[in-house]
């Protein structure tokens, strides 16, 4: 870890409120998300295949939304959204680099997980979409929107945590999780962080929009794991060695 990164971490940790609990932070996220998913699921009755198909459609839309938010908001200094930019580009990306991407304690969860109100805002947007779909199609379809959105948000937070946890003895063997770990740690390289590897769940939108650091097809992207032999050769020079080696420390 560079002296600059170490100094930033020390300064960031110093301004975290003494009463902050990373475990409570995470518990709130999963309590809210799990409750929303459970509540919506209780209202689904006798769903047909067409209604169930809402699940993969919302998963794809959530994946594209995740990509858009990361690429176009979190990495762009846009008036009205500077708080998001400052927290992500100027704080998260200084706290975690490709060379030192791991958190040291649960107090670091303050910079790993979104605030719980972000989930509430996301659920409000998803619920609005669910209400509209429920009015024009069926109640089941609308509730599936809310269920899937809540599940995808919790999926996002879990995968992001997996990217920044130090011990990968289990993670390295989990399909999808090992892929996004390499994908996201590479994103923390300053040479590519502004325009490559924007997905945090499944690199579908990065493949779709050509913003991945890999030269592979869709299935290759999803199941790449820690492999580095498919990394594009036209990228800006990467610092700090191979992402897979760093991820496996």
Give per-residue pLDDT as tens, 74-100.
999 999 999 999 999 999 999 999 999
Q: How much is the mean pLDDT over the chain?
A: 93
Q: What's the pTM value of the predicted model, to 2 decimals?
A: 0.91
User: Is residue 238 left, alpha or beta, with left meaning phi > 0 and alpha meaning psi from -120 to 50?
Assistant: beta
Do 224 and 230 meet the contact criterion of CB atoms below 8 Å apart? yes
Tokens 């979104």 belong to 114
- Domain of residue 223: give its range: 3-8+19-247
Question: In this structure, what DSSP letter does residue 77 have?
Answer: -
Do 122 and 138 meet the contact criterion of CB atoms below 8 Å apart? no
On whether residue 206 sits in a domain, the answer given is: yes
Confidence of residue 9 (pLDDT cuts 50, 70, 90): very high
Q: How many domains does the chain have?
A: 1
CA dist., res. 113 & res. 249, Å (int): 22
User: Of 81, 62, 76, which Cα lies nearest the Cα of 202?
Assistant: 62
Q: DSSP string spanning 151-207?
A: HHHHHHHHHHHHHH-S--TTGGGSTTHHHHHHHHHHHTSTTTTTTS---SS-THHHH
On whether residue 67 sits in a domain, the answer given is: yes
On whether residue 13 sits in a domain, the answer given is: no
On whether residue 151 sits in a domain, the answer given is: yes
Do 146 and 127 meet the contact criterion of CB atoms below 8 Å apart? yes
Confidence of residue 236 (pLDDT cuts 50, 70, 90): confident
On whether residue 177 sits in a domain, the answer given is: yes
User: Of 197, 191, 224, 200, which Cα lies nearest the Cα of 209?
Assistant: 197
On whether residue 14 sits in a domain, the answer given is: no
Quick: pLDDT tens for 108-123. Answer: 999 999 999 999 999 9
């Amino acid at each position: 870890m560079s002296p600059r990164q170490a100094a930033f971490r020390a300064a960031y940790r110093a301004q975290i409120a003494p009463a902050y609990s990373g475990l409570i932070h995470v518990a709130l996220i999963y309590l809210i998300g799990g409750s929303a998913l459970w509540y919506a699921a209780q209202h689904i009755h006798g769903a047909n295949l067409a209604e169930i198909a809402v699940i993969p459609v919302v998963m794809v839309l959530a994946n594209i939304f995740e990509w858009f938010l990361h690429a176009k908001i979190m990495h762009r200094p846009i008036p009205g959204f500077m708080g998001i930019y400052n927290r992500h580009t100027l704080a998260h990306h200084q706290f975690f680099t490709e060379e030192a991407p791991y958190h040291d304690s649960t107090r670091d969860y303050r910079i790993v997980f979104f605030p719980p109100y972000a989930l509430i805002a996301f659920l409000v947007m998803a619920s609005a979409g669910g209400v509209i779909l429920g009015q024009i199609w069926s109640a089941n379809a609308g509730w599936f929107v809310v269920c899937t959105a809540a599940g995808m948000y919790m999926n996002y937070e879990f995968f992001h945590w997996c990217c920044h946890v130090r011990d990968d003895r289990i993670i390295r063997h989990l399909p999808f999780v090992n892929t996004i770990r390499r994908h996201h740690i590479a994103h923390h390289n300053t040479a590519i962080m502004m325009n490559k590897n924007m997905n945090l769940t499944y690199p579908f939108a990065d493949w779709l929009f050509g913003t991945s650091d890999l030269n592979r097809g869709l299935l290759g992207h999803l199941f790449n794991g820690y492999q580095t032999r498919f990394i594009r050769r036209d990228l800006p020079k990467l610092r700090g060695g191979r992402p897979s080696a760093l991820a496996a420390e």
